[in-house]
Amino acid sequence: MKKKAILCLALSLTLLLFAAGCSRDDDNTTGTNDNNNNNNTSDNVDNNTGNNADNTGNTTQPGEGNETASDNMTTLRGLIGRADDELVKAFGEGEAVVEDALTTGRRYTMNILGKDMPVHVALDENGNVVSANAELPDNDEERWNKTLTETFGDPETVDDRPQWVKDGTIYSIQKANDKLGLMITGQTT
């Protein structure tokens, strides 16, 4: 029962992070340019070109970099339940979401399902990754459901909504503030 309560809290927090990402509030966030794996964070955009910049000043076109969309999905899946420092090691500092002096999540821009999109990773009170939400670039839910089915196979139906389960991870399409997001969470037992 406690796991379900924590999962519900994590999902709520991730949806709030997702919604906050739609209208960033810089008073509650801090960002750095730590980009260890050359993954793109929102802080690494060259303001003159709009291209993503790594720590050396080099720029890459959106979607370029060392990690592929599949690698990012696999890495995110593997980070569910892991400590924040492992998230930072995998994707860099990103943009920390801080509430009451506690880091409650991180924001990144990364390639997911073949598209660069904002990704909000939620942390629990112990600093462990509980979920990630990728803000899909459009509201074509049918197309994204088809893409997820092609990627993960046929979905299960839970509460009249499709969800895909792979290796103990649940993928589902969620809607917040009229935006679609791909929610990535761990399976509860």
pLDDT of residue 188: 66
Q: 132-163 burial string, b = 16+ CB within 10 Å, else e?
A: bbbbbeeeeeeebbebbeeebeebeeeeeebb
pLDDT top residue among 160 and 5: 160
pLDDT of residue 47: 32
Summarize pLDDT for 30-54 with one digit per residue, the tens: 333 333 333 433 333 333 333 333 3
Instruction: Work out the pLDDT band at 167, boundaries 50, 70, 90.
Output: confident
Summarize pLDDT for 111-127 with one digit per residue, the tens: 998 899 999 999 999 99
pLDDT at 156 over 80: yes
In 3-state terms, what secondary structure has residue 158? strand
**What average pLDDT does the segment 21-29 reach?**
41
Q: What is the DSSP letter of 83?
A: B
Q: What is the DSSP letter of 35?
A: -
pLDDT top residue among 5 and 185: 185
**175: which strand partners?**
180
Summarize pLDDT for 61-111 with one digit per residue, the tens: 333 443 456 789 889 999 999 999 999 999 999 999 999 888 899 999 999
Listed by start position, the domains of the chain span 2-186
pLDDT of residue 61: 33
Find all residues with CB under 8 Å of 54, minimum gap 6, and list them. 35, 38, 44, 60
pLDDT top residue among 134 and 46: 134
Give CA angle at 75 (25, 8), nearest 5°.
55
User: What average pLDDT does the chain have?
Assistant: 73
Name the pTM for this structure: 0.65
Find all residues with CB under 8 Å of 138, minimum gap 6, and list them. 180
